[in-house]
């Protein structure tokens, strides 16, 4: 509604005097906040000023409302009023009945954007239901101005717009009380590498996306190793600041340590090839807290130091989280696994570590130390991962329930200011996933990540949990299949998971992730789904549990992928073609079968793993488990046939149901035979027709609107327009929409980032699956603007890298075929000659493919996740050793000497020089000096490299030279104490004849920092 002339006159009384105070020109808007404003209200004002400046080039004045009188406003101009709903300034403006009612109705986290107008003057009200809601309103206003926020940073459109106060009428209310992320580490990827600045960067971006939760899981000693996220010990074993006196060995990932999954053996970064070493200042790349402590602290002092550094890091990060309204959470697994050092100390005192009273004392020690060390909002206790793969016993369930209650008692005894929650790879025990709701006090929140690395939907059992907080945690990416090495676009699936979480009445929606920029679509969709689902979720207004699944309407496999190992010999059968193919990563089959009794044979063959325990699953017929914990390799080995037959399978409703429950990795099946009186149905799973076996259905991800996806064309339309510009937005969006959830798998299986097994198929047979890469490349000449081009090239080269991984596998397959021919030659001299003629060129092709793929990756590196991808290419046991090291050694052995120089990996960087800032803060505390890490990726040292900064929009830029650390890594510290309200800066380096700048749009649109002050309540 509009503001009446009389009300506006009263609101603008004294404007002439106040305009002088603001120093604003006639007609220019001012940003006004109340004199008693909280830190969040002041920050909101600074953020609006920043984003108006970035989008329009106009620097609006910011000031408090005069304490003695009405709102100030530039002489005759407009105003943006930013305030919590209970401030007097809001009451003076919200005079109409409907507007007053809308303001009064605002609850915590909610906001109102409302433009009022009368007499040619306008006021935009940014009103929050609380302090955080006010901040959310400011960020939503920035989005309405065209800014987009992602976890790795902001995206500011290249083309600035003329400033005009927007006409807005919007109320924001979250669908979930908590919305955020569950970052993981334990690999080169993830939060292991985050510094305090990284945490602050990502937490700040979460707030901009109107998300408010970040929670980390902490592994225990021996399962697989202790992490320093949470310290275990007793009261009295730390000082008043939480600095521990009795640490124990713990670690985050670093390049001198052997990574548990993969594995990822130690490798110094100075040994990296293709210029990869330039990115790293030290051989022991790892987090700041582990500097000088890699690979693992080996002394008591070092063990203590790592916990203390980590605690200080969390103090800085979680204190900032309080300012921007982000809830923090850490926690451990149950039953508690105490470190050996703690068990030994207890034993020396005659205490039994298994005594519930002792366990409670340890929880008390954990909680007291956290209270001394850093802020925290939740402590979550995780059930073990084995519960999803192997299930749980009644004994394990009882022990877990008892321990959660022990932890709650400890929390109450110490007066912990944080709450207790549960989480795990499942919501609850196998017999009743909602059982925790019946057994635990309602004050404890329950949560779970989705099963099978996100391929399983959100658990419907959430709908049976009532009267407590319950958080769904779908996967934004998985550490299997394509894994963390490659591209995972799951925006459509994420929307479906969010829709399910809403339907089940969940109060929290978090996304599991390791990386940031490469996941931008997935995380952005998750953030948006936390506030509004009506445009794409047909059931968004129906907050009720969904109906049970309807009977199948079409027969065939329930999802999945297929694999075919053409030409592979299969043991224990004469029907090799039947076992060369398989379907995997699926939920089962539904087959139309006449009512009756049948003999069902399930046919298996292990095509990938070389050891037992790698692929385990249960198989059900008509709902009854007929095979439990099937491990094909353990029974018959690799590439050997295994038939399991089950007589007397009854069908009463015309459907044969085969269901699969994954325990370890992704179960597979090669054939199905259903035989009965007068009827037979046989399927060659994953393969073509063979004898009387019919061809299987082709592999195809769920289509839009099916069970694992909801429409995303609207999202990608906006996303492509913002990132790449109007010139290519429509065509680029169509490509991303088409491949979302359908990105071809470029690597083999394996945790955390897949593997590079040889692919014997010729590349032209595979290339059509990657046609979208060249489609996207064809759009590049139409991209306008430096920022648009940088973002477009990031995604184009990311897809080229993803495709390149598969080309490497094909090249490796060709090399393997030539080496097989070489090995078949018995005459040593002829074998050597044949190796030189066939195998050496094939190996050079492998090397060239790997180098090209590496180069595409280097063209994308811009975050810690990008650096981790380089580590993966160099150090993962299923990458460099499989593709480069072992083939080279085998070939050299046949040739009788070292390979020629042109068959050796290049050491120097051969790509275009780049300027990289992997961590980009956008706000700092007033008076703080920020130290930036700047990487110059180049074959030569820059002739000059400096940071240029000034007060935002004011005066000349000050030059601060970069300080060289090592290789391509530099640092620079700024701004000085004189900075007042906001800073803009860019980094510039000259390499040869080229001038590099960060950001790409500098010096027209620069990187910015706002300065904040925290009050006592923050």
The model's pLDDT over 167-186, given as tens digits with 9 standing for 90+, comes to 999 999 999 999 999 999 99
Q: What is the pLDDT of residue 548?
A: 43
User: 55-95 pLDDT, tens per residue?
Assistant: 999 999 998 887 544 444 445 579 999 999 999 999 999 99
Predicted confidence at residue 663, as pLDDT, reads 82
pLDDT value, residue 146: 98
Q: Is the pLDDT of residue 816 over 60?
A: yes
Using an 8 Å Cβ cutoff, are 274 and 308 in contact? no
pLDDT of residue 645: 98
**pLDDT exceeds 70 at position 702:** no
Residue 986 has pLDDT above 70, yes or no: yes
Whether residue 371 is predicted with pLDDT greater than 60 in this model: the reply is yes
Domain with CATH 2.60.40.10 in the chain: 914-1012
Tell me the pLDDT band of 26, cut-offs 50, 70 and 90: very low
Start and end residues for every CATH 3.30.379.10 domain found in the chain: 5-172
Peptide bond preceding 53 in cis form (omega within 30 of 0) = no
Residue 67: predicted pLDDT: 52
Kindly state which CATH superfamily the domain 178-252+287-529 is placed in: Glycosidases (3.20.20.80)
pLDDT tens for each residue of 543-574: 554 444 444 456 899 878 888 888 899 999 99
pLDDT digits (tens, 9 = 90+) for 889-918: 999 999 999 999 999 999 999 999 999 999
Whole-number pLDDT of residue 104: 98
CATH 2.60.120 segments of the chain: 560-695
Report the pLDDT averaged over residues 966-983: 88
727 φ, ψ to 5°?
Answer: -65, -30
Least confident of 135-144, 548-557, 648-657, 763-772: 548-557
In CATH terms, is domain 713-903 a member of 1.20.58? yes
Residues of the chain with CATH 1.20.58: 713-903
Q: For residue 635, give the nearest of 658, 609, 655, 600 by alpha carbon.
A: 609
pLDDT computed for residue 1017 by the predictor? 46
C-alpha 657 chain-centroid distance = 35
The pLDDT, as a whole number, for residue 542 is 61
**pLDDT class for 22, splitting at 50, 70, 90?**
very low
Tell me the mean pLDDT in the region 490-512.
97
* Fold exhibited by the domain 560-695: Jelly Rolls (2.60.120)
Contact predicate 165/122, CB 8 Å: yes
What's the length of the chain?
Answer: 1018
Task: Report the pLDDT value the prediction gives residue 553, as an integer from 0 to 100.
Answer: 56
Mean pLDDT of 24-41: 83
Average pLDDT of the segment spanning 663-673: 92
pLDDT at 927 over 50: yes
The 10 Å CB-count burial string (b at 16+, else e) for 500-509 is bbbbbebbbb
Answer for the pair 591, 697: CB distance below 8 angstroms, yes or no.
no
Residues 140-159: tens digit of each pLDDT:
999 999 999 999 999 999 99
Structure tokens of 902?
A: 């042109």
Half-sphere exposure at residue 690, Cβ-oriented, CA atoms within 13 angstroms: 19
| Domain 914-1012 classification at class level | mainly beta
Q: What percent of the chain has pLDDT over 90?
A: 86
CB 422 within 8 A of CB 444: yes
Lowest-confidence segment of 633-647, 685-699, 844-858 by average pLDDT: 685-699
700 phi and psi, to 5 degrees?
Answer: -155, 125
Q: Is 974 exposed, middle or buried (0-12, 13-18, 19+ CB in 10 A)?
A: middle
List, for residues 183-193, the tens digit of each pLDDT value.
999 999 999 99
What pLDDT shows up at residue 76?
57
Split at pLDDT 50, 70, 90, the class of 2 is: very low
Candidate ranges 257-261, 606-610, 900-904, 1011-1015; pick with highest mean pLDDT: 900-904
CA 780-782-787 angle, to 5 degrees, is 70
> What is the pLDDT at residue 1?
41
Alpha carbon distances (Å) from 107 to 127, 173, 695, 734: 11, 8, 58, 39
Helices and strands counted in the chain (H then E): 27, 39
Beta bridge partners of 994: 991
Cβ-contact 367, 416 below 8 angstroms: yes
Tell the residue number behind the tokens 């909680």, with chain if given. 367
Q: Which residues lie closer than 8 Å to 870 by C-beta, 6 or more apart?
A: 272, 276, 279, 854, 857, 858, 861
What fold does the segment set 5-172 form as a domain?
A: Chitobiase; domain 2 (3.30.379)
Q: pLDDT value at position 415?
A: 98
What SS3 state is found at 155? strand
How far is the C-alpha of 256 from the C-alpha of 285, rounded, in Å?
8
Query: What's the rounded Cα separation, in Å, for the pair 304 and 298?
Result: 10
- Asked whether the predicted pLDDT for residue 830 surpasses 70, the reply is yes
């Amino acid at each position: 509604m509009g503001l009446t002339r009389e009300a506006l006159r009263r609101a603008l009384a004294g404007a002439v005097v106040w305009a002088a105070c603001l120093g604003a020109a006639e007609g220019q808007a001012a940003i006004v906040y109340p004199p008693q404003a909280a830190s969040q209200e002041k920050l909101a004002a600074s953020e609006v000023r920043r984003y108006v400046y970035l989008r329009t080039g106009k620097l609006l004045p910011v000031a408090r409302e005069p304490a003695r009188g009405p709102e100030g406003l530039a002489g005759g101009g407009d105003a943006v009023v930013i305030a919590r709903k209970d401030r007097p300034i809001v009451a003076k403006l919200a005079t109409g009945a409907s507007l007053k009612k809308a303001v009064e109705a605002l609850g915590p986290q909610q906001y109102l954007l409302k433009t009022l107008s009368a007499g040619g003057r306008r006021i935009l009200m940014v009103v929050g239901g609380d302090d955080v809601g006010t901040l959310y309103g400011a960020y939503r206003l920035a989005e309405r101005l065209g800014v987009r926020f992602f976890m790795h940073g902001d995206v500011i459109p290249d083309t600035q717009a003329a400033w005009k106060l927007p006409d807005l009428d919007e109320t924001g209310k979250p669908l979930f009380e908590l919305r955020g992320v569950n970052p993981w580490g334990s690999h080169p990827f993830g939060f292991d590498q985050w510094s305090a600045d990284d945490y602050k960067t990502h937490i700040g971006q979460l707030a901009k996306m109107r998300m408010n939760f970040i929670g980390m899981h902490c592994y225990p000693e021996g399962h697989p190793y202790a992490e320093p996220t949470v310290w275990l010990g007793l009261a009295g074993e730390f000082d008043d600041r939480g600095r521990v006196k009795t640490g124990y060995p713990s670690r985050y990932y670093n390049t001198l340590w052997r990574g548990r999954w993969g594995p990822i053996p130690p490798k110094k970064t100075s040994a990296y090839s293709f210029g990869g070493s330039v990115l790293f200042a030290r051989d022991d790349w790892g987090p700041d807290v582990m500097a000088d402590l890699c690979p693992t602290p080996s002394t008591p002092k070092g063990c203590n130091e790592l916990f203390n550094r980590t605690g200080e890091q969390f103090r800085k990060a979680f204190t900032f989280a309080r300012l921007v309204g982000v809830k923090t959470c850490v926690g451990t697994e149950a039953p508690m696994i105490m470190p050996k050092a703690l068990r030994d100390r207890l034993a020396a005192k005659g205490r039994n570590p298994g005594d519930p009273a002792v366990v409670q004392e340890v929880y008390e020690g954990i909680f007291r130390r956290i209270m001394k060390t850093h802020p925290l909002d939740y402590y979550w206790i995780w059930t073990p991962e084995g519960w999803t793969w192997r299930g749980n016993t009644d004994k394990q369930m009882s022990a877990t329930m008892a321990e959660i209650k022990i932890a709650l008692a400890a929390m109450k005894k110490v007066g912990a200011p944080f709450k207790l929650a549960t989480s795990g790879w499942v919501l609850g025990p196998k017999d009743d996933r909602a059982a925790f709701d019946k057994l635990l006090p309602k004050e404890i929140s329950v949560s779970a990540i989705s099963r099978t690395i996100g391929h399983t939907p959100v658990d419907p059992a959430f709908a049976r949990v009532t009267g407590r907080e319950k958080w769904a945690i779908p996967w934004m990416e998985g550490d299997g299949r394509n894994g963390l090495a490659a591209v995972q676009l799951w925006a459509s699936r994420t929307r479906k998971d969010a829709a399910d979480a809403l339907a089940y009445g969940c109060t929290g929606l978090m996304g599991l992730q390791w990386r940031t920029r490469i996941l931008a679509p997935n995380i952005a969709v998750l953030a948006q789904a936390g506030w509004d689902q009506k445009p794409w979720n047909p059931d968004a207004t129906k907050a009720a549990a969904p109906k049970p699944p309807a009977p199948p309407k079409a027969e065939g496999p329930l999802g999945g992928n297929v694999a075919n190992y053409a030409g592979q010999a299969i043991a224990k059968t004469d029907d090799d073609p039947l076992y060369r193919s398989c379907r995997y990563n699926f939920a089962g089959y539904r087959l139309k079968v006449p009512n009756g009794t049948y003999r069902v044979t399930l046919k298996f063959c292990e095509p990938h793993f070389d050891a037992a325990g790698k692929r385990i699953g249960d198989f059900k017929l008509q709902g009854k488990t007929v095979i439990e914990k099937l491990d094909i390799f353990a029974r018959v080995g690799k590439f050997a046939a295994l038939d399991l037959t089950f007589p007397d399978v009854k069908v009463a409703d015309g459907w044969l149901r085969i269901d699969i429950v994954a325990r370890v990795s992704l179960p597979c099946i090669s054939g199905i035979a259903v035989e009965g009186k007068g009827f037979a149905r046989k399927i060659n799973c994953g393969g073509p027709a063979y004898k009387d076996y019919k061809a299987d259905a082709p592999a195809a991800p769920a289509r839009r609107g099916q069970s694992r996806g909801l429409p995303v064309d609207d999202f990608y339309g906006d996303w492509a327009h913002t990132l790449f510009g109007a010139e290519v937005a429509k065509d680029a969006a169509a490509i991303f929409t088409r491949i979302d959830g359908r990105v071809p798998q470029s690597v083999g299986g394996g945790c955390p980032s897949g593997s590079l097994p040889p692919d014997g198929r010729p590349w032209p047979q595979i290339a059509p699956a990657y046609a979208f890469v060249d489609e996207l490349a064809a759009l590049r000449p139409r991209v306008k603007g430096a920022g648009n081009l940088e973002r477009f090239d990031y995604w184009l080269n990311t897809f080229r890298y993803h495709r390149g991984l598969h080309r490497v596998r094909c090249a490796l397959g060709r090399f393997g075929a030539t080496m097989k021919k070489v090995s078949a030659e018995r005459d040593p001299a002829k074998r050597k000659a044949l190796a030189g003629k066939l195998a050496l060129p094939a190996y050079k092709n492998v090397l060239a493919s790997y180098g090209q793929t590496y180069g595409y990756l280097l063209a994308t590196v811009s975050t810690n996740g990008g650096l981790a991808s380089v580590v993966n290419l160099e150090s993962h046991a299923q990458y460099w050793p499989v593709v480069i090291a072992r083939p080279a050694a085998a070939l050299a052995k046949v040739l009788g000497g070292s390979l020629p120089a042109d068959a050796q990996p290049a050491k120097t960087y051969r790509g275009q020089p780049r300027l990289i800032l992997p961590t980009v803060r956008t706000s700092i505390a007033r008076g703080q000096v920020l130290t930036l890490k700047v990487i110059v990726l180049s074959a030569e040292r820059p002739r000059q490299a400096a940071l240029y900064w000034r007060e935002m929009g004011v005066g000349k830029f000050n030059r601060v030279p970069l300080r060289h650390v090592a290789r391509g890594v530099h640092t620079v510290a700024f701004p000085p104490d004189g900075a007042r309200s906001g800073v803009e800066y860019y980094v510039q380096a000259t390499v040869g004849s080229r001038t590099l700048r960060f950001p790409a749009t500098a010096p027209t649109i620069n990187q910015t920092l706002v300065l904040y002050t925290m009050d006592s309540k923050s």
